[in-house]
A and B are shown apart, each in its own frame.
Chain A
Amino acid sequence: MSVLTLPRPALAADPALRPVISFHGVGKTYPNGTTALRDVDLAIYQKDFVFLVGASGAGKSTLVRLLIREEVASTGRIFVDGQEITRMPRRRLPKLRRKFGIVFQDFKLLPRSTVAQNVAFALQVTRPGQRHLKEKVEEALWIVGLEDKLNKFPDELSGGEQQRVAIARALVHRPRIFLADEPTGNLDPDTSWGIVQLLLQINHRGTTVLMATHNREVVDLVRRRVIAIENGRVVRDEHEGQYLKEGEATI
């Protein structure tokens, strides 16, 4: 049934060939008995741009949560940057999470803080006393094209602009991996396209991007690697994939 175009990932000895993220037989069953992921194997390499597609409840968000260890896998092993994270002690989680830049569908901005303060917050809480804080914040906001909105508050911005602030916040500490969980879920098609272009641009600078999405048009237009999940299983993994399997009927 499944069309796996990539071989099962193995731990390569050469760090250059070693995946940035790899899942080995990963399963997740929640305490209430729901199984969100079953026997997932996948490998994502440096500079990959990956769309994670599937219906709501297919297990996309669980996969993202396992990566940042907000949830712990029930079975299997997950490696991030060569480190096994399923048995990683709590005290090392902050360091793991700093490898990621993460954005969500609901932006998660601080409503009482300005755009610049929202972006600075990420550095203040992870690297207190950071030098050149202002410059770093301005640079991140310049990348997302909001350098003229430093002192605006989130509710003065459009949805797309708010998501750009969230992206700037996720970028400001220069993460290895960029995780986007339904980043265009709340945005209109034009704005969504802008956000995806921004993510492509970030990927172009060398950052691995993993984007979980429902947005069929974007996936079909960009034609990058697509990993499809259905009922907790990886059912498709294609280098230049589409949202639906070729020949699959539109609902």
Chain B
Amino acid sequence: MRRLIASLNFAAGSAVQNFRRNLTVSLAAVLTMGLILLMAGGTALGRHTIKQVLETEQSRASNMRIYLEDGASLAQITDFKSRLQADSRIATVSFMNKDQAAKEASQQEETFAESLRVLGSNPLPASLNVTLKKETDLAWLNGYAHQNPIVQQGNLATDYNPDVINKLNTMITVISVVAAVVVGVLFFISLVIIMNTIRTAVYVRRREIEIMKLVGATDWFVRWPFLLEGMLGGTLAAVLAGVLVAVSYNVLVSTLHLKLLFFPLHYDGTYLIVVLFATGGAGILLGALGSYLGVRRFLAV
């Protein structure tokens, strides 16, 4: 235990010293790694946000209101409702009578209650509100409902907006592909830069390494400071990227929320924490991998 702590202490001290002695090269490595982590973290959050919007849009879209003829009897309605409920494509069915429809409309539009009083009767139809499991079944439901005589003819009410969903889907694909390519390229660039950093550190320490080998230090004892140096760089890069990701996510979400009121956009703190942890882990792994390759390539022990 005492030996382990002393070894770790030695390796950590050397790693910090290496980092400071080649500050320029080390910082270049940290910045590249930071950039790649920023891209990866930002993409993950961006994708997640668009997905959130998409899911809300899709759940809205899969809602359909089937308006019923005023003359429909309760038995007919119950029968139709249970047939709908029995269908595997349908998630939920709920009934809304004329009064409830009027109440809902009054809540949404204040003048509606006034109009109703003037009109003296309620023109709103009763309806069955159906939620589909998949919005692609909307066309089928439309056709199916219209076969029933108690259903009002004409289009059924739905929030389905195929344009928005398609656009969002395309956006997700484009963002994912572009980010994957950029992150991939940056990944290799940062590996090369870390390897170069290790090469410089090995060169600066060549005399110490020579003495260490001479007096009988083990290979791993010689390697550890360089591996730790890479991991230190990776950690710094992750902190840098994490702070930038968290701050810009916060700012972007609140700004967009103000500008696009109708957009179902909201801040997901849990997901942000997951992304931050993943960024940290990725940073340490990236640093460790780069320096491991560097040590293997440039350290003849």
Which residue numbers of A lie inside 8 Å of B, CB to CB?
68, 90-91, 93-98, 100, 102, 108, 110, 121-122, 124-130, 169-170, 173
**Interface-forming stretch among B94-102, B125-133, B208-216?**
B208-216
**A124-B6, A124-B10 given as contacts; is B214 within 8 A of A108 (CB)?**
yes
CB-defined contacts of A121 to chain B, threshold 8 Å:
208, 211, 215
Q: How far is the CA of A97 from the CA of B10 in the complex (A)?
A: 21
Question: At the interface, yes or no: B83 with Cβ under 8 Å from chain A?
Answer: no
Interface residues of B in 160-209 (CB under 8 A from A): 207-208
Q: How far is the CA of A98 from the CA of B217 in the complex (A)?
A: 8
**B108-123 CB contact bits vs A (8 Å, 1 = yes)?**
0000000000000000
Identify which of B207, B215, B219 gathers the most chain A CB atoms within 10 Å of its CB. Answer: B215
Instruction: Check A125–B221 contact: CB distance below 8 A.
Output: yes
Query: Which 6 pairs between the two chains have the least Cβ-Cβ distance?
Result: A129-B6, A97-B216, A128-B6, A98-B216, A125-B217, A129-B2
Q: How far is the CA of A125 from the CA of B9 in the complex (A)?
A: 11
Kindly list 15 other residue pairs between chains A and B, CB separation below 8 angstroms, not including A108-B211, A125-B212, A129-B7.
Answer: A90-B219, A94-B217, A94-B219, A97-B216, A98-B215, A98-B216, A108-B214, A121-B211, A122-B215, A124-B6, A124-B10, A125-B10, A125-B221, A128-B4, A129-B4
Query: Closest CB-CB distance, B214 to chain A, in whole Å?
Result: 6
Which residue numbers of B lie inside 8 Å of A, CB to CB?
2-7, 9-10, 207-208, 210-219, 221
Instruction: Check A95–B211 contact: CB distance below 8 A.
Output: no
Query: Closest CB-CB distance, B3 to chain A, in whole Å?
Result: 4
Query: Closest CB-CB distance, B224 to chain A, in whole Å?
Result: 11
Query: Closest CB-CB distance, B295 to chain A, in whole Å?
Result: 15
Instruction: Check B219–A95 contact: CB distance below 8 A.
Output: no
Instruction: Check A169–B219 contact: CB distance below 8 A.
Output: no
Q: List 19 A-B contacts (CB under 8 A).
A: A68-B214, A91-B218, A94-B218, A94-B219, A96-B216, A97-B213, A108-B214, A110-B207, A121-B215, A125-B10, A125-B211, A126-B215, A127-B3, A128-B4, A128-B9, A129-B3, A129-B4, A129-B5, A129-B7
Instruction: Check B10–A94 contact: CB distance below 8 A.
Output: no
Query: Closest CB-CB distance, A49 to chain B, in whole Å?
Result: 22
Query: Closest CB-CB distance, A102 to chain B, in whole Å?
Result: 6
Q: How far is the CA of A132 from the CA of B4 in the complex (A)?
A: 17
Instruction: Check A95–B216 contact: CB distance below 8 A.
Output: yes
Instruction: Check A122–B211 contact: CB distance below 8 A.
Output: yes
Q: How far is the CA of A125 from the CA of B218 in the complex (A)?
A: 8
Instruction: Check B217–A126 contact: CB distance below 8 A.
Output: yes
CB-defined contacts of A124 to chain B, threshold 8 Å:
6, 10
Q: How far is the CA of A173 from the CA of B212 in the complex (A)?
A: 13
Q: How far is the CA of A91 from the CA of B9 in the complex (A)?
A: 23
Q: How far is the CA of A139 from the CA of B109 in the complex (A)?
A: 95
CB-defined contacts of A129 to chain B, threshold 8 Å:
2-7
CB-defined contacts of B213 to chain A, threshold 8 Å:
97
**A124-B6, A125-B221 given as contacts; is B211 within 8 A of A110 (CB)?**
yes
Query: Closest CB-CB distance, A62 to chain B, in whole Å?
Result: 16
Q: How far is the CA of A102 from the CA of B216 in the complex (A)?
A: 11
Identify which of B5, B214, B217, B218 gathers the most chain A CB atoms within 10 Å of its CB. Answer: B214
**A128-B3, A128-B10, A129-B5 given as contacts; is B217 within 8 A of A108 (CB)?**
no
CB-defined contacts of A98 to chain B, threshold 8 Å:
215-216
CB-defined contacts of B3 to chain A, threshold 8 Å:
127-129
CB-defined contacts of A68 to chain B, threshold 8 Å:
214
Q: How far is the CA of A90 from the CA of B9 in the complex (A)?
A: 25
Query: Closest CB-CB distance, A81 to chain B, in whole Å?
Result: 14
**A128-B3, A129-B2 given as contacts; is B214 within 8 A of A173 (CB)?**
no
Query: Closest CB-CB distance, B211 to chain A, in whole Å?
Result: 6
Closest to A122 in B: B215
CB-defined contacts of B6 to chain A, threshold 8 Å:
124, 128-130
Closest to A169 in B: B215
Closest to A123 in B: B215
CB-defined contacts of B210 to chain A, threshold 8 Å:
108
